[in-house]
Amino acid sequence: MSFSSGRTFKIWDYRVGHNQLLLRSPESPGMAGNVDVIFVGVDYFDIPTRIDGLEFVEPTDSEIAHFDAQVSRAHRSSEVFCLTSRDRRYFVVGVAFWVVENNLDTCVSSLETPGFGRPEGAIDRVLDRSRPAHASRATV
């Protein structure tokens, strides 16, 4: 995980049926396009509704152990994803994430709608994505 951005992100959408979470930094003056952080297979998240700047960092062993003990294992391949902002740590336990740029209208979500797929233009460019956990890294 290496993505970081000084942009402001907000919780934009959550789809219960497929446990998808969308954090969006919408297009604004001086910032072309949206930057979306899409999590899938979400079992747990602890994020404020607004984050000013974010960076993906590796969770500590104790953080992984904490979520291993607290969160049910709905997905055997779930991982603990840690985001930092202003020296605070926030967490998402899920299967995978993507960070993408797009030019969707503000009211259009980039999350997949069952039976319909993602809206056209939902992904213009992938900026980062999760990779399989390393053998030495625990999963939740």
Which parts of the chain sit beneath pLDDT 50?
134-140
* 3-state SS, one letter per residue, for the chain: CCCEEEEEEEEEEEECCCCEEEEEECCECCECCEEEEEEECCCEEECCCEEEEEEEECCCHHHHHHHHHHCCCCCCCCEEEEEEECCEEEEEEECEEEEEEECCCCCCCCCCECCCECCCCCCCEEEEECCCCCCCCCCC
Q: What is the pTM of this model?
A: 0.87
pLDDT of residue 12: 97
pLDDT of residue 140: 33
pLDDT of residue 97: 94
pLDDT of residue 25: 96
pLDDT of residue 1: 55
